[in-house]
Structure 1
Amino acid sequence: MNSGKETFQKKNIAPKSLFYRFSQLMGFLLGARFFVAILLTFALYVSTFFLFNQEESLRNFVFDFKVHGIIFCTVLTILAGGIINQFYDFEKDHVVKPFRTRIQSFIKQKYFLYVYLALSIISLGVAWFISRNVFIFFLVYQFFMWFYSHKLSRILVLNNLTFVSLTLYPFFGMMVYYETFSIKVFLMAIFLFFILLCVDIVKDMLTKQVDKVFGYTTIPNFFNTKTTKIIIISLLVFTMLVSMKLILRTGISGFMSYYFSAGLFVIILCIYLLLDYSRRSKFLSLNILRFWIFIGIIAMLLSGIEGNL
């Protein structure tokens, strides 16, 4: 009788234990923004080889371990930044992202901090091994990652500008490393900067009330909805002008020219959606802009492959 009871208990314990371990893994991946880090890594490799690297062959690029080391340090820093950000935003995420917070609850917060410290130290260690300048570059990056989560994310305008700047910081580093300074690269950087800025402000519109409760002073909860929409639409119109400049004045060709041309219609669609006051329209415009950024990475990849054929 007891033997049967013990067998029944073992059968029930195993699945729970497996589910618990899986939940811990997913909690860590979501907490560290692992999937965002993968996308940024892909974007870094594509932009580095096809945009910033103008002279090096594919073979030399593959065996350029310094570049791979810098990208590796970038990935670790992004993962560490995601962890420290969720640590400071834990209460807010309980309301905004209940499912993700529930999964993350399978891991104690102190373990997230341990991993944050480990990732930061490994990143700085590898950076020091590459060069002193690279070490300073990542030391500054990590400091502002922490300072953004700790303080700047609650300050009006600075929260949006810092978030976008930190997202683009690794790409700026690669541009400096390869000394790729041109009007085309400059305009593409401005285009991406304003698209990301619009994404961040629209995201803040969706979390307006929660941000106000937890002391985050964002553009949507400082100004009224009408003023916020005017700001976003003005930024999108400016982004359209940058796209037109890229198409007409820089001689951009291939898939990238199609991307920026089609982007004019995508931005017009987002402006139309933002004129509506429904939450659904804001959510839809947010995801269209996010998706269009991803399409831009694919377009750059295809354009680069086309140019090398």
Structure 2
Amino acid sequence: MKNPLFYRFSQFIAFLMGARVFVALLLTFALYVSTFFLFNQEESLRNFVFDFKVHGIILCCILSILAGGIINQFYDREKDRVTKPFRTRVQNFLKQKYFLYAYIVLNTFSLGIAGIISMRVFFFFLIYQFLMWFYSHKLSKLLIINNLTFVSLSLYPFFGMLFYYKTFSLQIFLMSIFIFVMLLIIDVLKDTLTKNADKIFGYYTIPNYFSSAISRTVIVILLIFAQVSSGLIILKMGLHSIMSYYFAASIFIQIIAVFLVLNQTKYSKFANLNMLRIWIFVGIISMLANGINQYYFF
């Protein structure tokens, strides 16, 4: 006989994993940090805290991201059985129809809040939700387009906040290129680990469409682009802040990443992927520390 409490708890964990809640929490943290310390350069902390319009937009982002995670796992569930067997077993505690109900509810709440804020915000999130569905349904299987679309959708809320505050500068442009290229590298690296499963289930990716040598060359070229963007950011910022030290250290991290790419073992691919993921998180913490340092001490 099933333990009702254990079964409900398992369903709750299944929903958290299916909706990629932990990824959504990380993106929420990154959104708040970048919004206040990068895009918002005029409002005081007090005004920002009581700016309910901004909090409403970020809430819409969270709900849309959760919905996007659900629809993505719905379309990828066959491949995930091979590449992510543990997560798939946990998600099986909750029937797919409940995931779809949650997808509809999350998107509806997001659009409802967006509509209250303004029609421009409503259409912004309507387009975002459509693109996430279209990516999961069709674009995720198209060569190169899948990587570019995935990274673009990951950054879509950040560009929304950038346009909301109209904070345009060369420094932010260079930082946008840096984060775009880094996320693109991570996505292509991820594809190298799921190469065989992607091929079986009809996902055309750089690693399973081209030779291993070409795939490595693409990743190395992207890492060189990331190094160049890091160097340009340092030239623009100068080497006198926490964020500038982060970008200086990024050059060394990217050099290590090149050596790991040239080492063709599965362990080196896994280590490289996680190193770059952690480095992105370090970047968010660096932005927070840099912002606090400037806000309170200057």
- Shorter-chain TM-score tier: over 0.9
2:32 paired with 1:45: yes
1:124 partner letter:
L
The structure 1 segments of at least 4 consecutive aligned residues displaced by more than 6 Å after TM superposition are none
| Structure 1: gaps (5+ residues) | 1-11
Aligned Cα root-mean-square deviation (Å)? 0.9
Checking the alignment, whether the CA contact within 8 Å between 1:183 and 1:250 is kept in structure 2 is no
Once the two structures are TM-superposed, the CA of residue 252 in structure 1 deviates from its matched residue by: 6.4
2:134 paired with 1:142: no
1:118 partner letter:
V
In 2: Cα distance, 1:52 partner to 1:253 partner: 20
Q: Match of 2:187?
A: 200
In 1: Cα distance, 2:239 partner to 2:105 partner: 43
Greater C-alpha Rg? 1
Question: What secondary structure is seen at the aligned counterpart in 2 of 1:56?
Answer: coil
2:165 paired with 1:178: yes
Q: Match of 2:15?
A: 28
Once the two structures are TM-superposed, the CA of residue 249 in structure 1 deviates from its matched residue by: 2.5
| Structure 2: gaps (5+ residues) | none
Once the two structures are TM-superposed, the CA of residue 136 in structure 1 deviates from its matched residue by: 0.6
2:295 paired with 1:304: no
Give me the identity figure in percent. 63
1:33 partner letter:
R
In 2: Cα distance, 1:33 partner to 1:41 partner: 12
Question: What secondary structure is seen at the aligned counterpart in 2 of 1:89?
Answer: helix
Q: What does 1:15-164 correspond to in 2, within 5 Å?
A: 16-164=3-151
Once the two structures are TM-superposed, the CA of residue 23 in structure 1 deviates from its matched residue by: 1.0
Distance 1:252 1:150, change over 3 A: farther
Once the two structures are TM-superposed, the CA of residue 251 in structure 1 deviates from its matched residue by: 3.6
Q: Match of 1:238?
A: 225
Once the two structures are TM-superposed, the CA of residue 280 in structure 1 deviates from its matched residue by: 0.4
Q: Match of 1:273?
A: 260
Q: Match of 2:237?
A: 250
Checking the alignment, whether the CA contact within 8 Å between 2:237 and 2:244 is kept in structure 1 is no
Q: Match of 1:284?
A: 271
Once the two structures are TM-superposed, the CA of residue 208 in structure 1 deviates from its matched residue by: 0.3
Once the two structures are TM-superposed, the CA of residue 18 in structure 1 deviates from its matched residue by: 2.1
Q: Deviations over 1:90-135 (max 9, x none)?
A: 0000000000000000100000000000000000010000001000
In 1: Cα distance, 2:9 partner to 2:262 partner: 42
Q: Deviations over 1:147-191 (max 9, x none)?
A: 000000000000000000000000000000000000000000000
Checking the alignment, whether the CA contact within 8 Å between 1:254 and 1:306 is kept in structure 2 is no
Q: Deviations over 1:7-61 (max 9, x none)?
A: xxxxx75xx2222111111100000000000000000000000000000000000
In 1: Cα distance, 2:41 partner to 2:170 partner: 15
